[in-house]
Amino acid sequence: MQPSDHRPAAQIPGGAVFPHRHLTGIDGLQPHEIAFLLDEAETWVDANRSHAAPDKRLDGLTQINAFFENSTRTLLSFEIAGKRLGADVVNMHAAQSSVKKGETLIDTAQTLNAMRADVIVIRHMASGAVRLIADRVDCPVLNAGDGRHEHPTQALLDALTIRRRKGSIAGQRVVICGDVLHSRVARSNILALTALAAEVRVCAPSTLMPAAIERMGLTPFTDFDAALVGADVVMMLRVQNERMAGGYIPSSREYRLRYGLTPERLAKLPDALVMHPGPMNRGVEIDSSVADGPQSAITEQVEMGVAVRMACLDVLTRRARGVEGWA
């Protein structure tokens, strides 16, 4: 376990360790607060690997996973995280909900609130939707991805993976490559990694690069090989198939040629860590031999995901559970 470089707020006179009611994004979190969540998650990694008696600290609490956008992996990860902690987990899929019947998001939020959930996990296709709900419910809200805006638990699990594999995040040269324009994973990772003093590079064709991205404290590249020079971590983003039909990229094979993480490209980076938030387009943005190779941390990312989400569920419900020092 790596101790964080940042001093937790608890050690700062008058500070609270994690004063936020919700986790709607990495934006707004102090570096020591991010580090605190990573430290907490670290303990759950160990607990999940051991066969010790389970810690059911969320016993009796109700966790609602409200997913307005389809998801398999993130939903499963949040469900397992909640159940490991003993919470009663209920999943709400938009396909089964009244959202399809034209109910507004605010009404849905009020309905969820009236169910007296103890924590709500939300994924929505619109940027800012999670904040909108969070402002109108009494319990903590966790953002599981909102539009192109943020996906904070993904950034936390990525940071945890890097910290465990590389020892520290500060000073690491992290290359994020892919559909940065449409990616909430990229935005949250940029915020988290720059906050933790990594050197972030993003790489994408100009058609998939957001405007003024350099204002987020990073260096943009359009040439993948130039971006990869000296990289410690290579984080590949999924490129949606519909974007490769000519709208943003001429074809998937042209994309692989210019931006695919191939064994040839990785051969120049023998110590680099390979990451991908999944699901992967094997043979497009990442080759199978790279994804399954010794430098890949992709399955470890999934493992860290459960630990990070357990930590977030635990920390955000501490006030309601009356944990000492959190009242």
Residue 56 catalytic?
no
Rule CB under 8 A: say whether 210 interacts with another protein.
Answer: yes
Instruction: Give the nearer residue to another protein in terms of CB position, either 124 or 265.
Output: 124
Rule CB under 8 A: say whether 104 interacts with another protein.
Answer: yes
Rule CB under 8 A: say whether 215 interacts with another protein.
Answer: yes
Backbone angles phi, psi at 203, to 5 degrees: -135, 130
DSSP 296: B
Residue 21 catalytic?
no
Q: Which of 84, 187, 238, 256 binds another protein (CB under 8 A)?
A: 187
Minimum distance from CB of 184 to another protein (Å)? Answer: 6
Rule CB under 8 A: say whether 212 interacts with another protein.
Answer: yes
Residue positions in the annotated binding site for carbamoyl phosphate?
73-74, 123, 151, 154, 278-279
Which residues from 7-36 bind another protein, rule CB under 8 A? 27
Rule CB under 8 A: say whether 283 interacts with another protein.
Answer: no
3-state secondary structure 85-110: CCCEEEEEEHHHCHHHHCCCHHHHHH
Which residues from 123-182 bind another protein, rule CB under 8 A? 124, 126-129, 131-132, 146-150
For the chain, the helix, strand and coil percentages under 3-state DSSP, each to the nearest 5: 45, 15, 40
Residue 319 catalytic?
no
- Nearest-angstrom CA–CA distance, 248 and 231: 26
Minimum distance from CB of 101 to another protein (Å)? Answer: 15
Write down the H helix ranges in the chain: 31-49, 73-84, 105-114, 129-134, 152-166, 184-195, 224-228, 252-259, 263-267, 288-291, 298-321
- Nearest-angstrom CA–CA distance, 212 and 141: 30
**Angle between helical axes of 31-49 and 152-166 (0-180°, round to 10):** 70
Residue 73 catalytic?
yes
Given the rule CB under 8 A, which of 35-43, 73-81, 99-107, 304-312 is the region that contacts another protein?
99-107
- Neighbour-count burial of 228, counting CB atoms closer than 10 A to its CB (0-12 exposed, 13-18 middle, 19+ buried): buried
Contacting residues toward another protein, per CB under 8 A: 27, 104-106, 124, 126-129, 131-132, 146-150, 184, 187, 210-213, 215-216
Catalytic residues: 73-74, 101, 123, 151
